Amino acid sequence: MICSVSGFFIARAYYDYPLSLIGLLSGFIVSVIVIQIEQAIRRVSLRVIFGGVIGTIIGLSIASLLAYSLRFTSIWANQEIVTWIYVALTCILGYLGLVIGSKKSEEVSFPGFGFLKKAPKKEGDYRILDTSVIIDGRMADVCDTGFIEGNLIVPHFVLDELQYVADSSDSLKRSRGRRGLDILNRMQKNPNIDIEIVDQDFPKIKGVDSKLVALAKKMDGKIVTNDFNLNKVAELQGIKILNVNELANALKPVVLPGEVMVVKVIKEGKEPGQGVAYLDDGTMVVVDNASRHLGKDIEALVTSVLQTTAGRMIFSELKEVVPEKKAHGANSR
């Protein structure tokens, strides 16, 4: 509005009335361009803007030095040529400084400028944490190993749910909620990752899971979870899921049919004669004809492995009962 009115009066001051309408239209076009530039700048991080400004200043300074050096050449006699050379140097070096400064700003640290943090990940590379994966705690361990870097998104409604669980009258829920808050605080102190708390909410949507799906759609991001139901619902709506349970299953040692392992029978299985044992990582091992050896270490011959989204099951058959001394040696190994 201001640009349109300004264009109208400027054109009217110097030209006839019909041309003032052109000034009005020109002002409107300028205002639209300014709004578009403003919206584009909002999507750019302050670090990139700062790097671009510094690069532009350096480029213009170099252009001025080169133009100044022309004064000592024979070209200086032709003022028109010098002007065009100066304009060309200013445009080229200024543009190069802007591009290089903005692109390389991610590789440069600015001591004393704490507000110039690393820019967030590109659109489509956001990883949104849900409540269950924060409480689980394994995500923090993965971040500590350095396999995950960059920005992790924690919506404010997830933080509210964590606080609600931490304030629960149920002691188990209360301890889980407080553990989740402690883990989130630990992740924030990790220098390899940035935890960003976003205030985006969806008041018309009920349920944290539905809000997570809506946020992932809006940000074109991925949901990090270990919730089986959320996994299925999100996949049906085309949302990319990073399931911590699937990651854990992928990192388990590979067991092939025909291998022999030493396990301790913990309980009886569902079928007659079956015994059930567990590996150190929690994998269930079903052993045929081992129910009579409860509490004993046995050698089990692997017959098949069943991999599901909920975990992995190993089916085997009893080979022999491990003597006590041999069992202790195997356990110590």
DSSP code at position 107: G
Residue range 301-321: average pLDDT?
82
| Distance between CA atoms of residues 153 and 218, nearest Å | 13
Q: What is the pLDDT of residue 265?
A: 92
SS3 148: coil
- Within 10 A of 255 (CB to CB), how many other CB atoms are there? 17
pLDDT digits over 172-199, tens only? Answer: 889 999 999 999 888 888 877 888 888 8
Q: What is the pLDDT of residue 315?
A: 92
Q: Which residues 6+ apart lie within 8 Å of 167 measured at CB?
A: 174, 177
Share of the chain above pLDDT 90, in %: 7
Structure-model confidence comparison of residues 151 and 277, the more confident one:
277
pLDDT category of residue 13 using cuts at 50, 70 and 90: low
Q: C-alpha dihedral over 231, 234, 239, 245, to 10 degrees?
A: -10
Q: At residue 123, what are phi and psi to the nearest 5 degrees?
A: -60, 135
What tokens does 113 get? 């400028």
Report the candidate in 155, 157, 176 with the shortest Cα–Cα distance to residue 167.
176
Q: At residue 110, what are phi and psi to the nearest 5 degrees?
A: -115, 90
What tokens does 53 get? 């400004």
CA 311 to mean position of chain CA atoms: 25
Domains and their CATH numbers in the chain: 2-107 (no CATH), 127-250 (3.40.50.1010), 260-332 (2.40.50)
> 93-97, 111-115, 241-245, 271-275 — which is least confidently predicted?
111-115
Report the candidate in 133, 148, 127 with the shortest Cα–Cα distance to residue 216.
127
Residue range 7-13: average pLDDT?
51
pLDDT digits over 103-151, tens only? Answer: 766 555 555 554 445 544 444 578 899 998 899 888 888 888 878 766 7
Q: What is the pLDDT of residue 221?
A: 86
Question: With 90 as the cut, is the pLDDT of residue 37 above it?
Answer: no
| Distance between CA atoms of residues 142 and 14, nearest Å | 68
pLDDT digits over 46-60, tens only? Answer: 777 777 788 888 888
What tokens does 154 get? 């924690």
> In angstroms, what is the C-alpha Rg of the chain?
33
- Give me the chain's average pLDDT, please: 77
- Give the burial string for 209-228 (b: 16+ CB within 10 Å, else e): bebbbbbbeebebbbbbbbe
For the purposes of burial, counting CB atoms within 10 Å of the CB of 110, is it exposed (0-12), middle (13-18) or buried (19 or more)?
A: middle
Q: What is the pLDDT of residue 110?
A: 52
